Structure 1
C-alpha cells in the first residue's frame, strides 16, 4: 500500500486533496489537528493520512511535502472541529502503526456498527450505505480508525450552508415553519448577532398577527435591542414596509406558524413573501420531531420555496439521526442548530464534520 499525508485549513479541503491525488479508491487511515507549527505560520491545520493499493494508483513518497492553500479559516468552526477530531489516539499513534494494526472486519463488527446507526434513528438504507463503505476497505482499516472513518463518511453526506449577508444589499430573509418550533426566538438571535457582531443595520417585519402575543413578544425584543420593527397586516403592506427599511442591510420577516396540512394558510404566507420579494427563505423545524413529521413538513412547505433548514430545540432531542435523514432525503442544507432560549447565545453554526459528530456521538459540544 502507498500512503501519503494531506494537510489543509479544513478537513474537507484535505479530503479533496486526497481524492484529487490518490483517486476515489483512497482510504482515510488517520486524522489529526496540527497546532503551533512554524511551517504553517502557527495556524491550525488538519492532516489526513490516506492510503491506496499500489496496483490501483502510484503515489508520491510518504515524505513529500503537502500542498498548502492560502485559505482563511473560520475561527469558530476550526475550534469546534478541533474539539471533535483531536484525541489522544491521533496524537500517540503514528500512521505507520495504524497500517500494521489493520485486520479483517468481522460480520459481528459490521452488525454492531449498523445497530449503532439504527439506534441513532438513522434511516436503515442510509445506515447500510455507511457500513458498506467500511466493507469496501476490509483489511485496510485499523480498529482505532473504523469509527473515525464512519464519521468522515457521514460528514461527506451532509449538506450545510453558511448564513452570509453583505452590507448595503437590503437582503430580505424569512423564517417559516410549523407552530411552536421557535421561529421568533430564532429571528431574535440572528438579528442580534447580525447587528452586534457583524455590524449590520437590521430591520424586523412581523406578519404573525394570528398568534396571541406574538407581535408584543417581537416588539419588546426590538425595543430592548434597539432594532426597528414594523407589522404587516396584509400582503399589500409589504412593499411599503420594505421601502421604509431601504436603508437596512438585512430585513428579517417573522411569519406565523401554520400546520403543514393547511394549504390555504401556507398560500397566504406565500402572498406576503412574494409581495416582499424575499431573497432567502429558511425552514425551521424541531429536532425533537419524528421523521414522518419532518418529511411531511418539508414536503408541504416546499410551496414557500425555502432553501435551507434550521433545527431548533437540539438541546431537547434524544438522538440526532433525523437531521441526517432529512438533509439526505431532500438534499437540504443545514444552516444552524438552536440549543436553548438564551438570546443570542443559544444558536450554533454548523459544518458537515461538526454535524456528523453530533449525530454519531449524541453530544452538541
Structure 2
C-alpha cells in the first residue's frame, strides 16, 4: 500500500494532485479542512488536506512512480504515521466484517452502511443490522419506519445505562483523560453550574503541573468564579488540599493530561491522586477521536473506578457513533456532552435519546 498526504486550496485541486501522482485507482482514506501560511497565526488560508492510498500491485498505476511508501515522509519526518496505521487497521477490520456479513435487504443494508459511516463500531453495527433483519422478516415497512426501528433498537442497547447528571454523590470529583480533550474548560463549566445554579460551595484542585498554561487557565476561571484553587505537585500536596477544602460541598480535581495509551502514565497519576471511596472519577474523551483510541484509553483505567464518561467537542464532529460504541461495549453511562469553549455555557447533560437521534438523523434525512 502506497500512502501519501496531499494539500491544495480546494477539493478539486487536491484530487488532481492525487490522480496525477497515485492514479485513478487511489482511495481517499481521510480528508479535512486545514489552515496554512499566515504570520504569527494570523491571515492563514483555508486549504484541504487529503490522505490517499493506492495498491502498487494493481495494473493501472501512474507512469511516474513516487518514492513515498508507507514508511515514507508524511509530516517532514522519516517515521511511520502511527495514527494512519491505526486507521488502516480499523478500515481493514471493517472491510473484513462487512465481507462476512449476511446479505441484507436494501433498506437494512442502507442503515448498516450509515451506522458504519457514523463510526459506530463495525461489530455493533452488524449486530444491529442482524436484529433489524429478524424483526422485519416478511414485513412491508416504510423508510420512516426503518429509521424509527433502528433508533429503537439502538436505544435498547443503552437502556440499562445511566445518562445525564443531576448531582455528584461524592465530595471530591476527579476529571481524567488525555491531553487536548478540554478537561480544564469542562471543570470550569461544571463548577459554574454547581456554583450558580445549585448554589454549592465549590473549590478547585489541579494536579496538572506539567503545563503552566493549564494552571494559569484554571486560575483565571477560579478568579472569575471566586473559587479557591490549590495546586498539588505530589500526593502529599493533594491530601493537604483536600483537607483544606473538607468543608466544601464539591471539590473538582483537574488532572494532568498525558499519553494514557501508555499504562505508565496512569501509574504516575496514582502517585499524585488518591482514588478512594469518597471520590468519583469521570473520564473525559473527545468526540473527534476514533473509537479504537477512546477504547484503548478507557482500558488503561481498568484499575480506577470510572463513574461515567464525559464527551467533549460535539461542535467539531458530525459523527457520534464512537460515543454510543463506548457506552455499549464498555457498559458505562455518559454524564455530560460539551460543544464549545464558552463557560458556563456549552455543556449539557447527556441524553440517550439525543445521542441516538444524532447518529440516525442523517439517515432519516437521506
TM-score, normalised with respect to structure 1: 0.66
Aligned equivalent of 2:119, options 121, 124, 133: 121
The CA distance in 1 between the partners of 2:275 and 2:317, in whole Å, is: 36
Residue in structure 1 matched with residue 162 of structure 2 by the alignment: 160
The CA distance in 2 between the partners of 1:170 and 1:124, in whole Å, is: 36
2:108 pairs with 1:110: yes
Query: Deviation string for 1:336-365 (max 9, x for gaps)?
Result: 1110100111112122111110122269xx
User: How does 1:1-365 map onto structure 2 within 5 Å?
Assistant: 107-135=105-133, 136-140=135-139, 142-143=141-142, 144-158=144-158, 159-165=161-167, 171-274=171-274, 278-361=278-361
Deviation at 1:210, TM superposition (A): 1.0
Please state whether the residue corresponding to 1:302 is helix, strand or coil. Answer: coil
Structure 1 contact 160–351 (Cα < 8 Å) conserved: no
Structure 1 contact 238–272 (Cα < 8 Å) conserved: yes
Please state whether the residue corresponding to 2:303 is helix, strand or coil. Answer: helix
Structure 1, gaps ≥5 residues long: 1-105
Deviation at 1:132, TM superposition (A): 2.6
Relative to structure 1, the CA distance from residue 139 to residue 229 in structure 2 (aligned partners, 3 Å threshold; closer, same or farther) is same
More displaced 10-residue stretch of structure 1: 257-266 or 324-333: 257-266
Query: Deviation string for 1:20-63 (max 9, x for gaps)?
Result: xxxxxxxxxxxxxxxxxxxxxxxxxxxxxxxxxxxxxxxxxxxx
Query: Deviation string for 1:305-358 (max 9, x for gaps)?
Result: 222111111111131111111112211211111101001111121221111101
The CA distance in 2 between the partners of 1:275 and 1:315, in whole Å, is: 32
Structure 1 contact 336–349 (Cα < 8 Å) conserved: yes
Residue in structure 2 matched with residue 94 of structure 1 by the alignment: none
The CA distance in 2 between the partners of 1:279 and 1:200, in whole Å, is: 17
Residue in structure 2 matched with residue 29 of structure 1 by the alignment: none
Relative to structure 1, the CA distance from residue 225 to residue 306 in structure 2 (aligned partners, 3 Å threshold; closer, same or farther) is same
The CA distance in 2 between the partners of 1:108 and 1:285, in whole Å, is: 35
Please state whether the residue corresponding to 1:303 is helix, strand or coil. Answer: coil
Deviation at 1:155, TM superposition (A): 1.3
The CA distance in 2 between the partners of 1:115 and 1:335, in whole Å, is: 29
Query: Deviation string for 1:86-118 (max 9, x for gaps)?
Result: xxxxxxxxxxxxxxxxxxxx8112211211212
Query: Deviation string for 1:253-309 (max 9, x for gaps)?
Result: 000001013333321212333277651100011111112211211111323322211
Count of residue pairs the alignment pairs up: 256
- RMSD (Å) for aligned C-alpha atoms: 2.1
Structure 1 contact 174–252 (Cα < 8 Å) conserved: yes
Deviation at 1:239, TM superposition (A): 2.4
Deviation at 1:214, TM superposition (A): 1.4
The CA distance in 2 between the partners of 1:316 and 1:152, in whole Å, is: 26
Deviation at 1:170, TM superposition (A): 6.3
More displaced 10-residue stretch of structure 1: 303-312 or 201-210: 303-312
Structure 2, gaps ≥5 residues long: 1-103
Residue in structure 2 matched with residue 40 of structure 1 by the alignment: none
Deviation at 1:160, TM superposition (A): 3.3
TM-score, normalised with respect to structure 2: 0.65
